[in-house]
Amino acid sequence: MIKRTITLIFIAFLIKTLVFAGDNPIQIKPYGYISYEIIYDTYRSVDTRDGELYLFPKRPEFDIHGNDINKRSKFNMLSVHSRVGMDIKGPDALGAKTSGRIEADFFGTRQEYVRMLRMRQAFVRLNWQTTELILGNTFHPFFVLDCFPNTISFAAAVPFHPLNRSPQLRLTQDFSPGISASLSFIVHGYHNSAGPNDQQRESGLPESVFQLRFGNKSDLLFGMSAGYKFLSPRDITTGGEATDKIVGSYHLQAFSRYDTDLLSIKLEGIYGENLSHFVMIGGYGAKGSPDDFDWSSDFDYTNLRTLSIWTDIESPGSRWQWGLFAGYTENLGAGELYIPIPGLTRYDELHYLFRISPRLLYHSNNLSFGVEYSYYNAVYAEEYDAKGKPSVSMDPAINNHIILMARYSF
């Protein structure tokens, strides 16, 4: 695997050398970084990729004496999200400026594949004067590249903020220097919803997202997004009857960023049904009451609803830079009578979760050092009402998550 990765990087730089050696109008610019992290936790937690993708403290578990067995520290060193990519520019086509990007890291698509090469992005971009078309695998529109938490910890403060890169077609139209709109059609890749891996494809319909943006990238930005997705969980009931039931769910977002000479302030709120494809609290189950429910027959579904809000404040310093993230997310249950089905939910055992994270970075040309402390407070549900909303909760599980980081960018 290491030999293959070194070969790919060598080929990328060789291509760049050959391209610029002649009159070929193709331009290739390699980029990336090498990252090293030391991670320490005071409480066992839900995470993946050997702890690189951190989510929240585990549900408390008690021994025969009432001691919480998850109150134990954890330590690790990692470099798995080091990455390499290429930005490509070529000659005009169809009256548009053309460009593309291909990017990979060593994160893997599952815990079993950690440290293996993974495609992060691979897309083509066509730019006309006021219109842009993106075709390929890149960030979901709800991951707003102009407004996301700039935390040191990997994945931009998931599960408070969406984490999703997927194959998509995105058309963006600028109506004026300060107003634009985009329409996206998306098929989930490895960031799929809780449940069968192919349930979105089996529905025969893409996820659709509409986004409006106001303002600019230099001082003030505000936007709103609305999306809808379809899932087809199964083809046949346990009673042997064919079923074509499709469950639909919506997701809404508002975001803003305000920049001054002293601070950059970002805010975001997300509310929606089955946000599990964002690696957030969500999922769906059967609609009905367990007292008179017939599992062998066909039935309808209902979605769990989730609320998430966060803010990220940071200084714009070129050498020393500080920041502060704070986020809150809550399981709101379903809007109808709800019966849970194992495997169709993600993190629904949580009632609510909040995090506060100060950070400090030092930059010296291509080299950066950083430290981030995160306080996590996770409250788990003990009982639920008839709509799946937590009604009785446990005492909070608290973790102190500390990261020391060194990064060399190129």
The more confidently predicted of residues 403 and 26 is 403
Asked whether 306 and 281 are in contact (CB, 8 A), the reply is yes
What are the tens digits of pLDDT across the range 43-77?
999 999 988 999 999 999 999 999 999 999 999 99
- What is the token pair recorded at 62? 């008690």
Q: What is the mean pLDDT of residues 4-20?
A: 53
Is the per-residue pLDDT at 11 higher than 90? no
- What is the token pair recorded at 385? 């009402």
Of the candidates 302, 294, 397, the one whose C-alpha atom is nearest the C-alpha of residue 62 is 397
Residue 69 is predicted with a pLDDT of 96
Q: How confident is the model at residue 214 (pLDDT cuts 50, 70, 90)?
A: very high
Q: Is 10 a domain residue?
A: no
Q: Is 2 a domain residue?
A: no
What rounded mean pLDDT belongs to the chain? 93
Q: How confident is the model at residue 26 (pLDDT cuts 50, 70, 90)?
A: confident
What are the tens digits of pLDDT across the range 371-390?
999 999 999 999 999 999 99
Residue 80: CATH number of its domain:
2.40.160.10
Asked whether 367 and 391 are in contact (CB, 8 A), the reply is no
Pairing verdict, β 179-186 and 165-176: antiparallel
pTM tops 0.75:
yes
Q: Is 236 a domain residue?
A: yes
What are the tens digits of pLDDT across the range 282-312?
999 999 998 888 898 999 999 999 999 999 9
Residue 318 is predicted with a pLDDT of 84
List the domain range (segments joined by +) for residue 269: 33-409
Residue 360 CB contacts under 8 Å (≥ 6 apart), including other chains: 320, 321, 322, 323, 370, 371, 372
Asked whether 330 and 342 are in contact (CB, 8 A), the reply is no
Q: Is 378 a domain residue?
A: yes
- Please tell me whether the peptide bond between 159 and the residue prior to it is cis, using omega within 30 degrees of 0: yes
Q: Is 12 a domain residue?
A: no
Q: Residue 73: count other Cβ atoms within 10 Å of its Cβ.
A: 11
Is the per-residue pLDDT at 195 higher than 50? yes
Q: How confident is the model at residue 113 (pLDDT cuts 50, 70, 90)?
A: confident
Residue 203 is predicted with a pLDDT of 95
Q: Is 198 a domain residue?
A: yes
**CA–CA distance, 351 with 127 (Å, rounded to integer):** 44
Q: Is 1 a domain residue?
A: no
Q: Is 387 a domain residue?
A: yes
Local structure of residue 242 (DSSP, 8 states): B
For the chain, the domain total comes to: 1
Q: How confident is the model at residue 21 (pLDDT cuts 50, 70, 90)?
A: very low
